[in-house]
Amino acid sequence: MAKTSGGARSRRSPRVRGAAPAGPLRGRTAVVGLFVTAAFLAVAAQLVHLQVVRAEGLQARADRQHHKTIILSGERGTITDRNGVILAKNMDTPSITANPASITDLSATARSLAQVLPVSRHAIEKSLGGGRHFAWIYRHADPTLAKRVAALDLPGIHQVPESRRFYPQGKMMGHILGFAGTDNVGLSGIERAYDAELRGKQQHLVMQRDALGRPVLAVDNDYVRPGQGANLTLTIDQVIQHHVERELDAAMLETGAESASVVVMDPKTGEILAMAVRPEFDPNRVSHYQADEMRNRVLTDPYEPGSTMKMFLAATALEAGAVRMSEMIDCENGNMPLRGGAMRDSHPYAMLSFADVLAKSSNIGSTKVAMRLGPENLRAGYARFGFGQRTGIELGGESPGVLPATERWSVRSLPSIAIGQEMSATPLQLVTAASAIANGGHLMRPYLVKEIRHGDQVTVVQPREVRQVMSPAVATALRRALVGVTQSTGTAPRAAIPGYEVAGKTGTAQKARSDGRGYKPGAFIASFLGMVPADDPRLVILVVVNEPKGLYYGGTVAAPIFRAVAAPVLSYLGIHPDTDRTVTVVATGDAAPEMPWERTKG
């Protein structure tokens, strides 16, 4: 055998079966390491994104899933009249609810409920859908409905007591009070104007949910029951309001009028003692009325007041020294030519004192006095009394009326505006302005809320004077002259009350068309604006009757309503008759002939 050189054996390393070469192994390990590192970095980045970047949002989402916030409102405050008679309060009524998740046959359940409740089957099925654990079916059911639903004994249908607004006096004062909706939120009238005070403070209660999403316990152990809202005392006197609404109902029946309203004010303070509107409105039965019937026409519906404006023409002219009460004025025998058309009186008069111009409501005599004033002074005088401006009463929706700027007056505007045409005013503006004549010249802000009581804190609303509009001497002289209106030779003897001197003014105005183009044929608004007792008035009352059927004169239609309201109210307030009370009325000139409506029965 051959030998290697030097006699030494070969030293090759032995090969291990199955072993990979060293180079490829290292490469594969590096790749795996890279993948592991990348995966770790991706997970770490996602953790950072979730725990840092999105932490707040995810925490809120978890809270929504595990907690439920319930908003609780304090019981709505009570509203009373000035003597403590309850006008609005809260009471518990049954509301129909459902747990849809526990109802096996939604369609059959909806069908059964729809036969009892005033809710359609489709609406009920929609409420029950979605697999929720709670749904409202019908809120504030009356007890009869609630009993009928209970008698069905439907699985998953429940009843819960819920606080609802209730008006114990029914339709009385409905337009003043307004109403609160299903969620006890004021939607009109005093309820809306003072909603923030009446509603009280809301309380948020956090409840923890179980696995099915049902609230099981309160998370906040410091829960405090939400407090009741403030209680309001109104200036309204329920007794006076009763007399007003009774007579207004009778007048609507007798005259067949489209609508009517009465306002009673204390002229010294501006407090509204009564305010009523027809058609009626019962806030307990809101769904039975159209929006037009809910409107408080005393402050939302201006109208051309007609001859009632002559008392404010007189106040302006007397204050300016443009006329004297005893001054004789030629009334042109009932026909006075003017640019734009003649001015006429319904009865022809020759010479009348200015006092008699008011007592007999002469358009011609009034126009001649307005001409002495001129457009600027006449408009400024009306504006001082608040016409063309909102009175500032608490209720919403008040109209400012219309008192056009003199730049917009035509050649006919001065005589027309002097007698209450080509302008408009609300009943509230008229009774507020007349109160300034009654109280010696102070224009007061009218108001309806006398006191706000929240726990131990009491806020008493004080009367507020807007401005002085005339001197006390002129106011006294004007009231004395206006007594002539209710005497036998005036336009409103039916407003006279035995034992009392009544000062006032009638209005018989054509009703303007809704499109503003002329007047509606055969349509009139009859009114009487009066104050009593005339020497020191305690009451100012305005009666407005819109489109009476048949007779339509203010002295025939509205004056008797004034008397029917004022007589019992004077007695109720303890204002005793004084048959010795005398008022000097300067009345010269020929006696007026008897007017046709003065011969009517009643």
Tokens of 464: 């507020």
Contact 153, 116 (CB under 8 A): no
Amino acid at 468: Q
End-to-end Cα separation, the chain, in angstroms: 165
CA-to-CA distance for 300 and 427, rounded, in angstroms?
Answer: 9
307 in active site: yes
Distances (CA, A) of 572 to 185, 410, 439, 578: 36, 49, 21, 16
Given the residues 127, 261, 307, 527, the one annotated as active site: 307
List the one residue out of 137, 455, 440 whose CA is nearest residue 315.
Answer: 440
Q: What angle do CA 330, 336, 340 make, to 5 degrees?
A: 145
Q: What is the dihedral of CA 246, 247, 252, 258, to 10 degrees?
A: -100
CA-to-CA distance for 297 and 399, rounded, in angstroms?
Answer: 10
CA-to-CA distance for 178 and 283, rounded, in angstroms?
Answer: 6
The number of residues in the chain equals 602
Q: Is the dihedral of CA 409, 410, 415, 419 positive or negative?
A: negative
Within 10 angstroms of residue 126's Cβ, the number of other Cβ atoms is 12
Amino acid at 120: S
Cβ burial of 134 (10 Å; 0-12, 13-18, 19+) is middle
Within 10 angstroms of residue 280's Cβ, the number of other Cβ atoms is 17
Catalytic residues: 307
